[in-house]
Amino acid sequence: MSSKILMPALSPTMTEGTINKWLVKIGDNVKAGDIIAEIETDKATMEVEAVDEGKITHLLKEDPNNQVAVNRVIAIIDGKKNDSLEDNPVTKEIDKDEKETINKESSKLNEKNEIKKNVVNNKFKASPLVKKIATDKNIDLTKINGSGPDGRIIKRDINLNEVSLVSSEQKINQDFIVPSMMRKVIAKRTLEAKQQIPHFYLTIESNVDKLIDLRKKINENNSFRISYNDLIVKALGMAMKKNPDTNVYWQENKIYKLKDIDVSVAVAIDEGLITPVIKKVNSKGLNEVSVEIRELAKLAKTNSLTPNQYTGGSITLSNLGMFGISEFAAIISPPQASILAVGKIIKKPIILNDSVMVGHTLKSTLSADHRVLDGAVAGKLLKDFNDIIENPFEIWMNSNDMEVI
C-alpha cells in the first residue's frame, strides 16, 4: 500500500516551503524516522523524516525557486506505476511579477543596442540646448516625439516627458536578485504590520552610568563576560512583570493575555532577521539569560533553530547600538503588541543635581499596538524599564546565579 509524504507545517506561521535538497533518491528503501529531505521554511532550514517504511518511488523535484504549499504531496513511498505527483499540483512558480522582471531584464540589452542604433542613424532632431539637457538629466531622446518643425525636439517636449523617460542606459545599469523565502516573508509581514497595526511610539533617554559600573563589577567576578544586551533583556523582563497588562496581544478581535514573560531578541542573519525567544526571562538569572542568548544566536546564524525557539514571545528587543545607531523606531512583529528599539550608549554632558557633568546616556523607543496598549500603559512600562537600567542593582538582586560583588 502506498504512503504519501506531505509538505509539513514546521512552524505555526508556515504556509509553504521549498525543497532545498533530497537526501534520498528514487529506489531507496527508507523506514519511519529516516531523514529524507531539507526543507526551507520562512524562518529556518529544517529536516523532514519519513513517516512510513518502504521504497521511494516518486519525488518532487528539488528547486529553491518553487514554493510548495503545506500538506501537499512531495513524495510517495511504494507508489504504483501510474501514480504521479502531477496529480497533486503542489508547486507555486516564481511570482508573475518576478517572471516579468526576468523577461524585461533579458530584453534590456536589445533595447540598449536599438537606442544606440537610432542615435547613430540620427533618427531624431534636437537643438544643442535640448541635447545638453538630455545629457545632464539622462533623458532618452529617442522616446520623445518632437513638437517643433519637422518633428524637432524642443525644450518644452523634454519638460513634458523627462519624468517618465529616464534613459534606458541608466535602467540597464542595474541587476535584480530573486529574494529568499525568508526575505519574502519579512517583506510581506512587515508590510502587513505597518498597514494593520496602529503603531505609536514612545522614547526615553536613560542615564546608564550605574549600568556601566554594574557590568564592569560583574565581569570582574564572573566566569564569562556579560553584555549590555544581556542586562537589557533581563531589565525588560523585569519591567514587564511590573506591568502585566502589557503582556498581551490582539488577534481576531480578541485580546489574549500571556502568563509567561518571554523576550524575543532580534538577530541579523544573511537572509534577513530572526527573533529567537528567551523563555521565562523573569525567572532566570543573568548568567542563564546570557548563555541562552549566545546559544540561540549561534543556532540562528546556521539556520538551526527549531520552531519552539523562535515562535511566541511577549515583546521583542532590537538593539542596533553596535552599529553606531543612536535612536530608531522598530516595526512590531505580530502577534506581539510591542517592540523595544535600543541605540548606542553615548558619552555626553548631562545635568545632575543642577550641575553639568559628563555621563553616559541610552535612548530606547517603544513601538506599541494601540489596539491593546494605551499611552499610559505603554509609558509606564517604558518608565519602569528606564528606572531599572538607571538603578540596575535590582537586576543583580533578581539573578540568583550572580556572584557577590
Whether 152 is in a domain gets the answer: yes
Note the pLDDT of residue 91: 43
Write the DSSP string, 277-314. Answer: EETTGGGS-HHHHHHHHHHHHHHHHTT---HHHHS--S
Whether 102 is in a domain gets the answer: yes
Note the pLDDT of residue 120: 37
* Position 170 confidence tier, pLDDT thresholds 50, 70, 90: low
- Alpha carbon of 74 to those of 48, 182, 197, 267: distances in Å? 11, 21, 36, 32
Q: Whole-number mean pLDDT of the chain?
A: 83
Spell out a b/e string for 25-64, using b for 16 or more CB atoms within 10 Å of the CB, else e.
eeebebeeeeebbbbbbbbbbbebebbeebebbbbbeeee
- What pairs with residue 22 in β-bridges? 37
> Is the same domain home to 155 and 243?
no
Given a cut of 60, whether residue 164 has pLDDT beyond it is: no
Whether 239 is in a domain gets the answer: yes
Domain residues for the domain of 87 are 3-92
Q: What single letter denotes the amino acid at residue 368?
A: A
Note the pLDDT of residue 172: 61
Query: In terms of Cα–Cα distance, which of 386, 393, 274 is closest to 340?
Result: 386
CA distance 51 to 48: 9
What is the radius of gyration, based on Cα positions, of the chain? 29
> Is the same domain home to 15 and 162?
no
CATH number for position 27? 2.40.50.100
* Position 171 confidence tier, pLDDT thresholds 50, 70, 90: low
CA distance 47 to 36: 7
More confident residue, 229 or 37: 229
Given a cut of 60, whether residue 2 has pLDDT beyond it is: yes
CA distance 178 to 53: 37
CATH number for position 387? 3.30.559.10
> Is the same domain home to 219 and 356?
yes
Query: In terms of Cα–Cα distance, which of 356, 322, 349, 327 is closest to 340?
Result: 327
**Number of compact structural domains in the chain:** 3
Whether 46 is in a domain gets the answer: yes
The single residue of 58, 199, 360, 370 carrying the catalytic annotation is: 370
What average pLDDT does the segment 245-264 reach?
96
Note the pLDDT of residue 322: 93
Most confident of 20-29, 96-105, 268-277, 338-347: 338-347
CA distance 96 to 282: 47
Entry pTM: 0.67
Order of strands, sheet of 29-30, starting from the edge strand that comes earlier in the sequence: 3-6, 73-77, 54-59, 29-30
In tens, the pLDDT along 383-403 reads 999 999 999 999 999 888 877
Asked if 360 is an active-site residue, the reply is: no
